[in-house]
Every structure is written in structure tokens, then in C-alpha cells.
Amino acid sequence: MKLKNLRFEKLYTPYFPTQYCTGGELFDYIVKKDRLPEPEARHFFRQIIAAVAFTHHKGYAHRDLKPENLLLTTELQLKLIDFGLCANPVKNKFLETCCGSPAYAAPELIAGNAYCGNEADIWSMGVLLYALLCGFLPFEDECLPKMYQKIQRSFYVCLIRLLFPLQELLVVIV
């Protein structure tokens, strides 16, 4: 990637040049296609796993995983963005800040309990996988308290026929 005519307008404000992702947000891609076929969902989910595993390996929890924070290149490669809620917890210490997007939040966050950031990210990845495969969220509800109840009970209905390994994966993660 070449940078030309890069100007810094404000002194002491960090700027991070990134790759231009012409494919837009994964959210818009899912909406446009209604839902993704399993091979395509698998293609994207593998990339999500790799990005989150790298983030965790570096000692961070993303804490705001959702399709709006995954951008697509023209080659349909995903780029994880928006590390504004990222946390670098000290080993064996739990996080306490409730943050992220409610529909993707793990039950322990909603309950207001201390939580492991990496485990909360894995929960969010399960919600992402469901959204890729079904085209909608597993715990949707117009009433936020009702949605929180569904999340805390892990109550969702999969209206799409999925191969058994995918069904099993969703049950384990979400």
C-alpha cells in the first residue's frame, strides 16, 4: 500500500492508515444476500476466527464483535476494525465494564458480572455465525429487557436447516 499526500492536521493526534475496503461492511453484505450459503459463511467465519485469535494472542479482547465492525475487500477478505472498546486484561483478572452491542453481548455482561473478555468475544462470534447462516440475529426482540432475557437463557430458534456440525457448533458457542 502506498501513501501519497498524507497530511496530519492535528499535532499529537494518532492516525492509522489502513487498507481501503471497497466491499463495505459485512452487515450490508449479509442484508443484500439475505443469508449466506454454508460454504460462504464458513469462508468468512474462518477469517473471523483468525482475526480474533490474533487479537487474543496479542493479549487483547475486542469486546465489540459484530458485522458492522468487519469490512470487506474486493477479494472478499475481512478486516476487523473498531478497537475502541478493546481491553488488555491482566492475566487471571476479569473485566467489569459492560460494553459492546447488546445483541452480541454475552450473558455474563448483561447480568453485570465480571467476565473473561476472550470468552465474551467467543460468544459474540457465535452470534456472528448465526447471523451469517440465518440472515438475522438469534436473540432479536424490539423490547431490550426481553432480548436480554433470551440471551441470559440462551433461548433462540434456528429456522434454517443446517448441517449437523454447524448446529452442534452453534449449540456449543451460543
Q: Is 94 helix (H, G, I), strand (E, B) or coil?
A: coil
Determine the number of helices (DSSP H) and then strands (DSSP E) in the chain: 6, 3
State the Cα–Cα distance between residues 70 and 110, nearest whole angstrom. 23
DSSP 92: T
User: Catalytic one among 64, 82, 121, 141?
Assistant: 64
C-alpha closest to that of 41 among 158, 163, 174: 163
State the Cα–Cα distance between residues 76 and 91, nearest whole angstrom. 35
Residue 64 is a catalytic residue = yes
Q: Is 115 helix (H, G, I), strand (E, B) or coil?
A: strand
Q: Tell me which residues are annotated as active site.
A: 64
